């Protein structure tokens, strides 16, 4: 490892102990449905409020942060409080509209005998946060059985959605052909400005967690009066959240916060059991990466035995270090997608998510296919 890399890795420690980062973590933990016992203090001494505002925007935690600051009557500079309160109000309004839209979509799919799962979003928020409408969401993630993609695309169009990827006006069979080599298609509804990712599988790589899908165990979650959404059961949800976060090296704190909130209140043996299930599903390294960083940032309970097991694997240690770099801005304070070569280390980390040469070759082929497809 070169000296520049050593400096980057050491800078993550400084960022993680910065007043702004510590305050953000404390505010998020205070918002968990299963809060840790005792009082969670919000450490505001020496906080640079403009830096905190930028951090909240970068990680999309504005409403979670502002809710904690407001409820604790923390004195915040006017410009920052105004910005955070306005952004929080916008997040809540969008979530309320999204809840109603999800209810309409579920009814439309069920009427065609398609039984989807809602991934992340409000279903997850209602499970893990005291107020699910504080969890920022940009789009609706919907998983349908692969063999029903063509029919699902027809439902989407009847519901007022138009495809963005694939572009143009593809027919149902063309959408199905698109999904043959991709996990999702992207859709937008002008009325309400809703964005939706229609998934036919959960992993970017078809060889990754192939057995997790609409046939997996599920649970119904009430997100608002009269709106109950199906999502994955908690065991399966842990696996999916780990895979989702690891696919982007956890560069947004809100993703790690969601997982930490799911695990909040669990004791070390329960967390070890979830990790064992992730190993069985083929997502052991994704789970290890998430757990190591969640313990460090959110005090997730691993226990000495599980922690020792995780750090014995060099790949786990590297994956955790890469996630810390992205989470803390050790590479760049901007979004990785906005920086030249900002996602290079993310793509490299994806090769480590499963052992063996066969997976790595499969992953290289997938990444090259995606790269070529995005340029066409």
What is the predicted pLDDT for the residue at 243? 97
Answer whether residue 376 shows pLDDT above 50. Answer: no
What is the predicted pLDDT for the residue at 145? 97
Please measure the distance between the N-terminal and C-terminal CA atoms of the chain and give it in whole angstroms: 36
Q: What pTM was estimated for this model as a whole?
A: 0.92
Q: Which domains does the chain have, with CATH numbers?
A: 3-90+235-375 (no CATH), 93-234 (3.30.460.40)
Give the pair of three-digit tokens for residue 203: 């992993």
Q: Which of 213, 144, 153, 149 is nearest to 187 (CA)?
A: 153
Measure the CA–CA gap between 159 and 162, rounded to whole angstroms: 9
pLDDT in tens, 303-345: 999 999 999 999 999 999 999 999 988 666 678 878 887 889 9
What is the predicted pLDDT for the residue at 330? 65
Question: DSSP string covering 85-114, please?
Answer: HHHHHHHHHHHHHHHHHHHHHHHHHHHTT-
Whether 91 contacts 108, CB under 8 Å: no
Provide the mean pLDDT of the chain: 91
What is the predicted pLDDT for the residue at 9? 40
pLDDT in tens, 273-298: 999 999 999 999 999 999 999 999 99
Instruction: Report CA torsion sign: 105, 114, 188, 83.
Output: positive
């Amino acid at each position: 490892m070169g000296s520049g890399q050593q400096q980057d890795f050491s800078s993550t420690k400084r960022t993680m102990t910065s007043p702004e980062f510590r305050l953000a973590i404390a505010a998020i933990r205070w918002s968990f449905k299963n809060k840790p016992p005792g009082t969670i203090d919000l450490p505001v001494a020496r906080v640079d409020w403009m830096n905190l505002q930028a951090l909240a925007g970068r990680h999309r935690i504005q409403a979670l942060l502002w809710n904690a600051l407001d409820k604790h009557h923390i004195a915040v500079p006017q410009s920052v409080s105004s910005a955070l309160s306005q952004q929080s109000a916008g997040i809540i309004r969008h979530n309320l509209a999204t809840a109603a839209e999800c209810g309409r979509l579920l009814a439309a799919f069920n009427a065609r005998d398609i039984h989807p799962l809602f991934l992340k979003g409000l279903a997850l928020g209602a499970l893990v946060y005291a107020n699910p409408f504080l969890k920022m969401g940009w789009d609706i993630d919907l998983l349908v059985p692969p063999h029903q993609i063509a029919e699902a695309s027809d439902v989407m169009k009847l519901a007022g959605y138009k495809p963005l990827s694939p572009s143009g006006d593809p027919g149902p069979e063309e959408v199905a052909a698109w999904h043959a080599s991709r996990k999702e298609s992207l859709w937008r509804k002008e009325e309400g400005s809703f964005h939706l990712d229609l998934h036919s599988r959960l992993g970017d790589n078809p060889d990754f967690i192939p057995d997790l899908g609409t046939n997996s165990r599920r649970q119904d979650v009430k997100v608002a009066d009269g709106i109950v959404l199906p999502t994955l059961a908690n065991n399966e949800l842990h696996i999916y959240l780990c895979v989702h976060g690891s696919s982007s090296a956890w560069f947004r704190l809100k993703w790690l916060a969601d997982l930490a909130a799911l695990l909040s209140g669990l004791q070390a043996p329960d967390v070890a059991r979830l990790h064992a299930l992730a190993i069985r599903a083929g997502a052991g390294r994704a789970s290890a990466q998430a757990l190591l960083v969640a313990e460090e940032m959110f005090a997730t309970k691993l226990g000495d035995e599980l922690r020792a097991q995780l750090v014995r694997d060099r790949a786990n240690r590297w994956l955790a270090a890469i996630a810390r770099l992205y989470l803390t801005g050790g590479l760049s304070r901007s979004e990785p997608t906005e920086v030249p070569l900002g996602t290079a280390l993310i793509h490299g980390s994806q090769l480590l998510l499963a052992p063996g040469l066969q997976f790595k070759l499969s992953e290289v082929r997938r990444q090259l296919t995606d790269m070529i497809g995005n340029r066409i």
